[in-house]
Structure 1
């Protein structure tokens, strides 16, 4: 089983399976155990999935979090797919889920997730990271805390550095 890095740097086994979008004409097949399904399919079958703590969703980078909106906290895990490391739209999705929709459960980065992105993802609200398979999860803690201070406000602190120093 692959590993997931938590925001505090601990490494744990990932027991959530990411379910790929079914091809046209195919139906959604859920594996045994906890799984993450495409957000639009969860919304389409919301009444079928309601109340299940073994179903989470994943966003693709082009999808808008307002479609999920206030329903976000019904989900134990929301994942955001980074199709390539240079696609930064997932950072905006994370900030919107945390700040506008007050999502408080696990927010996970999946896809092309690299070690040097972890601290920036954490600042945007992610608290779990499924690294690309060729990356070493043991280096995750160092990467999450590479900088001791940040200049700007983000989800982890609502005050910029100059305001924190003035206090």
Structure 2
């Protein structure tokens, strides 16, 4: 996967192969990110020898992953269009309600303008669109110094963090 920002830096290497089609073929020892339906099948079979991660579409039910969360090292959430914000809700649900602590990756139509907001709801890696340089997008993580509302990164709202003189 190219154009990847991970933990606040541009990642030079990434072994994960994103497969958007449930029936896509791959090597038995490959590190793959597969759609939810395929992930559940492969997990039940238990015969995949490489790394196994899941791709959640905007209409996927993240609660289906609950029994697998402890073993999952990576969950990718798809943003098929810049204006589709359902992935933000999925990320926040995974981080806050389901206590997922592994890597949470935004994939699809991911642009600099979104990075700060994506990080606030729990994403820690971002697959930037191939037509945009990751170095420029990385600057998006520092676009805002404060958030008014409580977020995954800063659960206490700004009003309650205010120091009185």
TM-score scaled to structure 1, two decimals? 0.88
Match of 2:32 in 1: 35
Q: Distance in 2 between matches of 1:8 and 1:146?
A: 13
Instruction: Mark the runs of 5 or more structure 1 residues left unpaired by the alignment.
Output: none
Picking from 155, 158, 163, the partner of 1:158 is 155
User: Which is further off, 96-105 or 68-77?
Assistant: 68-77
How many residues are aligned here?
163
Conservation of the 8 A alpha-carbon contact between 2:96 and 2:152: yes
CA separation of 1:156 and 1:111: change in aligned 2, threshold 3 A: same
Q: Distance in 2 between matches of 1:63 and 1:90?
A: 10
2:66 is the counterpart of 1:92: no
Conservation of the 8 A alpha-carbon contact between 1:7 and 1:144: no
Match of 1:123 in 2: 120
Using the TM superposition, give the Cα deviation of residue 28 of structure 1 relative to its aligned residue in structure 2, in angstroms: 4.7
Match of 1:17 in 2: 17
Q: Distance in 2 between matches of 1:84 and 1:109?
A: 12
CA separation of 1:47 and 1:15: change in aligned 2, threshold 3 A: same
Picking from 138, 143, 146, the partner of 2:143 is 146
Using the TM superposition, give the Cα deviation of residue 52 of structure 1 relative to its aligned residue in structure 2, in angstroms: 5.8
Q: Distance in 2 between matches of 1:33 and 1:8?
A: 26
Conservation of the 8 A alpha-carbon contact between 1:151 and 1:162: yes
Using the TM superposition, give the Cα deviation of residue 73 of structure 1 relative to its aligned residue in structure 2, in angstroms: 2.4
Q: Distance in 2 between matches of 1:103 and 1:17?
A: 21
Match of 1:5 in 2: 5
Q: Distance in 1 between matches of 2:154 and 2:101?
A: 15
CA separation of 1:148 and 1:41: change in aligned 2, threshold 3 A: same
Conservation of the 8 A alpha-carbon contact between 2:30 and 2:49: no
Where 1:5 maps in the other structure, the secondary structure is strand
The superposition leaves residues 70-122 of structure 1 with CA deviations (integer Å, 9 ceiling, x where unpaired) of: 42221111000001110000000100111111110100000111111001000
Q: Distance in 2 between matches of 1:70 and 1:156?
A: 25
User: Which is further off, 79-88 or 63-72?
Assistant: 63-72
Conservation of the 8 A alpha-carbon contact between 1:56 and 1:76: yes
Where 2:77 maps in the other structure, the secondary structure is strand
